[in-house]
Structure 1
């Protein structure tokens, strides 16, 4: 975004907050696009915090590893990230990508929009390659959600709303988990005890593993990972938030938040209350060692709805805060990172592997949550600087450019005309 356009946005935001005339359509579109970039940047920072907190190891580790760093600061930071960041922000980013998908498709003609399904096929391929080098990939689910959104383009908005809500509430995953437990008389294999069986092996890999061993482990883990995602509701929840984001774009939800700030504030408080209540209930349920036959699916439903209300709270709360000029001005620096979100996300993975894995500096498990927090902040600052410098000369991030060009079967214009 150029300096002139940002000044225009600031002027219109100031007028809006002071009760003056509403923004012109073009300025309103720029304002909402900038809001999306800011929110995506915040979401990327949350994902970076979460992954750095566990040394970019996306599977359970032995309990004694987590106990290596037990200072007060380490414990507080680790628990805060576990309770308030882990799980909520994948859906947060999915919602924003759903809004962005609708906004992008609306700007292009019907003939130009034929490349959207190909675009998500390519994103799926990128996700598969990313999964091979790091087991924590989320792009595959985003690609599947994008394909579903493409199929919903010709359907009514209410169809998207119903599918989004059905997926977010994880009713398919709940009944599948309940059915399997009733059949086998015990929790299905997606429970934490089954996942912990590999904890010792992955810890050994993190200590002295090679590239081939990590690739083999990641490939072998694809099946169990997506079984876990299905039965715990993670996949349904993320797809649901993407579809709800697409629906939000269709009803101009971001403009409605601005126009109905008081009602949005009431809904935000309700979501926040539900989130904190379910968080407490979840901790109580998981504290039980023995449980009735039906309790494990109930735990899953409580956990899923806690993530749903947490994601909704963060979305609504930040959208409300962005109405305030000073807050918006303070967080504007993260917008470039959000604008090139795919390149930034892959950059996070590569730097995380380089820092924590034995194929790089091998910081696992020597750094604790406090040190990892500082590492995450440092990496994100580098991301911000790179994004700002890159966007001075180019329209897209490097991966975004290749992604769009491949889907369109032609090289997209990349370099800004005024920088030649």
Structure 2
């Protein structure tokens, strides 16, 4: 296997792992429809809570971070492939993101928490840094990861730190969403998701620092791809071991600090922005733990055989992500089977595992017959609309 092919194998498998874990989380939370079934026996309610806490500890905020990191990897692969031919990929990338926005808006009809629309807009932050030196890109990413809006909120709170803050604005939007997701028709869900739901998600993303973290992860992914960190080599094995150690050393104190913030900082005006910062850094550190463990597993011959099973999901990540929204919301929402009424986290985990396995098998079956997933092929053809045939063929080095 060439270094390039090995790099793409690892990237595809890691992306597939992210898609599968997103599937599990979405099922456990009924695709944003908050509801706890009544009348469950005590042992099942306790098991539900343990599964919920464990799943969100492992994947909450981390799966999307992996997805964002790999988005930056893909950008670099496409950008560098065009640059090697003396072409500037950035104008075509803007059009590509407009298409992704359209896919995201379609997905948002069913699932208000869609991430594609955010990625399509925030990915434009890659354009001004695409040709900068590594050091400048890293500095830009670190500034974003510091959560400047949270620091500003902290400074603004200093004159009156004990003032009572209103609930985060996103809560009201999500409260309204519960009603139409549980009891609305399909048309009401579509309208609610594109209006109330999208605004709620945007506000939540701002309140939790996602609007800074996501473009930073795009940039870090681009840097990792520049340095070939997803190639299978001894040097990269050493790199991921060190990354794992540093991430664990960062995660443990951040986790302990986050656990005690409520006791240490009584003033809500101070506690809320500090919580945003600490939680974002804590989740980032654990995301690096997951990526490093996956990369190290992929370096082992036996691990490669096992983990490569995620690759079909990764190669069809757009199709997989949209299909899981269509299927999941039909299962849980009121316009469909309404399973939110009777399923807790335990049952939803079983459903999510079954759906992830089925989706992985279907992706593998599809890719034995076709080069790309259906939405990937549509996205590819539309991206290169009007380009000469040699340029379209050359673009297949990207995703």
When normalised by structure 2's length, the TM-score is 0.87
In the other structure, the counterpart of 1:107 is 81
Shift in alpha-carbon separation, 1:354–1:38, aligned structure 2, 3 A:
same
> Do residues 363 (structure 1) and 339 (structure 2) align?
yes
Q: Deviations over 1:301-349 (max 9, x none)?
A: 1111111111111111211111111111112111111001111100111
Deviation at 1:147, TM superposition (A): 2.1
**1:122 aligned to which of 58, 78, 99:** 99
In the other structure, the counterpart of 1:241 is 217
> Do residues 383 (structure 1) and 359 (structure 2) align?
yes
Output aligned runs, 1:218-229, within 5 Å. 218=193, 219-229=195-205
Shift in alpha-carbon separation, 1:323–1:360, aligned structure 2, 3 A:
same
Output aligned runs, 1:331-350, within 5 Å. 331-350=307-326
**Conserved 8 A contact 1:164-1:241:** yes
In the other structure, the counterpart of 2:53 is 79
> Do residues 252 (structure 1) and 228 (structure 2) align?
yes
**Conserved 8 A contact 2:37-2:344:** no
Shift in alpha-carbon separation, 1:256–1:220, aligned structure 2, 3 A:
same
> Do residues 207 (structure 1) and 165 (structure 2) align?
no
What is the alpha-carbon root mean square deviation over aligned residues? 2.8
**Conserved 8 A contact 2:105-2:117:** yes
In structure 2, how many angstroms separate the alpha carbons of the residues matched to 1:89 and 1:287? 29
Q: Deviations over 1:86-126 (max 9, x none)?
A: 11111111111211221122223344734222101211222
In the other structure, the counterpart of 1:29 is 4
**Conserved 8 A contact 1:232-1:300:** yes
Output aligned runs, 1:35-54, within 5 Å. 35-54=10-29
**Conserved 8 A contact 2:103-2:116:** yes
> Do residues 319 (structure 1) and 300 (structure 2) align?
no
**2:271 aligned to which of 266, 289, 295:** 295
**2:191 aligned to which of 208, 213, 216:** 216
Deviation at 1:145, TM superposition (A): 3.6
**Conserved 8 A contact 1:207-1:362:** yes
In structure 1, how many angstroms separate the alpha carbons of the residues matched to 2:284 and 2:179? 35
Deviation at 1:180, TM superposition (A): 5.4
Deviation at 1:390, TM superposition (A): 1.4
In the other structure, the counterpart of 2:140 is 163
Q: Deviations over 1:364-384 (max 9, x none)?
A: 131111111111111111211
In structure 2, how many angstroms separate the alpha carbons of the residues matched to 1:69 and 1:355? 23
In structure 2, how many angstroms separate the alpha carbons of the residues matched to 1:52 and 1:130? 16
In the other structure, the counterpart of 1:396 is 372
**Conserved 8 A contact 1:257-1:320:** no
Shift in alpha-carbon separation, 1:395–1:30, aligned structure 2, 3 A:
same
Deviation at 1:274, TM superposition (A): 2.2
The number of residue pairs the alignment matches comes to 383
When normalised by structure 1's length, the TM-score is 0.83
Which runs of 5 or more structure 2 residues have no equivalent in the other structure?
394-399
Q: Deviations over 1:12-38 (max 9, x none)?
A: xxxxxxxxxxxxxxx111111000010
Which runs of 5 or more structure 1 residues have no equivalent in the other structure?
1-8, 10-26, 415-420
**Conserved 8 A contact 2:76-2:225:** yes
Output aligned runs, 1:405-416, within 5 Å. 405-410=381-386
Shift in alpha-carbon separation, 1:410–1:378, aligned structure 2, 3 A:
farther
**Conserved 8 A contact 1:181-1:188:** no
Deviation at 1:355, TM superposition (A): 0.7
Runs of 4+ in 1 over 6 A off after TM superposition: 411-414
**Conserved 8 A contact 1:135-1:221:** yes
**Conserved 8 A contact 2:123-2:218:** yes
Q: Deviations over 1:153-184 (max 9, x none)?
A: 222222221222222232x2212432554588
> Do residues 88 (structure 1) and 62 (structure 2) align?
yes
In structure 1, how many angstroms separate the alpha carbons of the residues matched to 2:200 and 2:359? 32
Q: Deviations over 1:27-83 (max 9, x none)?
A: 11111100001000000011111111111116xx36x66996752432221110122
Shift in alpha-carbon separation, 1:215–1:161, aligned structure 2, 3 A:
same
In structure 2, how many angstroms separate the alpha carbons of the residues matched to 1:232 and 1:188? 16
